[in-house]
Structures are given as C-alpha cells and as structure tokens.
Amino acid sequence: MHSDLQAFWYQAEDHYLQSEEIKAFKHHTDSLAQRLKTYKSIRDREIDIFQTVANQLLDVFPDQQEQLIEKALKHWLLVMRNCSMAMLLNNPEFLQRRLLEWLAPQIKAHQLQEIETKLYEFLQTSLQQFLSQEQFDLIEPFLLMAQTKLLGERTPIEIGG
C-alpha cells in the first residue's frame, strides 16, 4: 500500500480530513498520477531508450567483449525497472531492498564499473531525450541513488573524464 496515502486512510478512522489534510491528499494523488504517467512512458519507451545507450556503448568500447556490455545493459535494465517502480511508489527503500543491496557486489566482482559508469551517463542523456523535463525530474533521484550505491559517488567531471 502507498505509504503517503496510507496515513490519510488511518486518519479517516479518527476524523474527517481537515482543509490542510485535503490539500495534502490532493497533492499526493496529483503526484501519483504524474508518477504513473512517467512510469508508463519509461515502460513504453524502454527499448528505444536502451537501444540508444547500447549503440553509444558499442561506439565507446569497440574492443570490449560484447558479453560484458550485454551484462552491463541487463544490470541497468533491472535498475531502470526498479527505479521506475520505486518512483511510482515514491519509496526509495523499495529500491534499496529490492535491488541495490545485491547488485553492487556483482558489478564490482565482474569489473564492470567503467562500462556501467559510461552507461549511466548515456542513460541520463537518453532519458532526457525521451521524457519531459517533469518526468525526468521524477525519476532522477532514484537513478542518482542507484548510481551512488552501484558506482560510487562521482561528479559529472569524473564521469566524463
């Protein structure tokens, strides 16, 4: 159950919602509608988003084994799907529990950090091409959380350099 809305449902046991509570409830439901729209956009454009990223990776890493690039792409498809669900639920803990705790060691074990760092950079650019700015702003905090946990904190200069 959506935790933001769940609090309102529990309040209904005590009293009718007051004006400020109704405003907050409306904000949460409006936000949920926008997150759902964003989720659907990402779902419907996943192939295009990741095909763009894959093409760029192949250009940047022409001598890299295709298996490693494919493994990195699979990791980030999983990351993107889980970030999207966490965004829809507005629940960063979902992302932490479902994905990040077990994927970070795999990336380090397979020595994919260089490829996945570049992949993250390309994914950000690709998402900005396929999503509105408002939609990108909704998913970005979850992607940053994944990037920080999986690849370590890096500044844009470090990613590009």
Which tens digits make up the pLDDT trace of 16-29? Answer: 888 888 888 888 88
pLDDT at 4: 67
Helix then strand count (H, E) for the chain reads 8, 0
pLDDT, mean of residues 5-26:
80
Task: Look at residue 127 and tell me whether its pLDDT is greater than 90.
Answer: yes
- The answer to whether 145 and 80 have CB atoms below 8 angstroms apart is no
For the record, the structure tokens of 10 come out as 């529990």
Task: Look at residue 158 and tell me whether its pLDDT is greater than 50.
Answer: no
Residues 159, 121, 107: CA angle, nearest 5 degrees? 80
Mean pLDDT of the chain: 86
For 104-140, the DSSP string reads HHHHHHTT-HHHHHHHHHHHHHHHHHHS-HHHHHHHH
pLDDT at 27: 87
Cα atoms in the Cβ-side hemisphere of radius 13 Å centred on 129: 14
Cα atoms in the Cβ-side hemisphere of radius 13 Å centred on 75: 28
For the record, the structure tokens of 124 come out as 């950000």
Is 44 exposed, middle or buried, given 0-12, 13-18 or 19+ CB atoms closer than 10 A?
exposed
pLDDT at 96: 87
pLDDT at 102: 77
Residue ranges per structural domain of the chain: 18-160
Matching CATH number, 18-160, of 2.60.40.1120, 3.40.50.300, 1.10.490.20, 3.20.20.140: 1.10.490.20
- Residue 129 CA to residue 148 CA, distance in Å, equals 23
pLDDT > 90 fraction of the chain, expressed in percent and rounded:
57
Say which range, 9-23, 73-87, 126-140, has the weakest mean pLDDT.
9-23
Task: Look at residue 74 and tell me whether its pLDDT is greater than 80.
Answer: yes
Cα atoms in the Cβ-side hemisphere of radius 13 Å centred on 35: 21
Task: Look at residue 159 and tell me whether its pLDDT is greater than 70.
Answer: no
Task: Write the CB contacts of 142 (distance below 8 Å, at least 6 apart in sequence).
Answer: 83, 84, 86, 87, 92, 95
Q: pTM score, two decimals?
A: 0.82
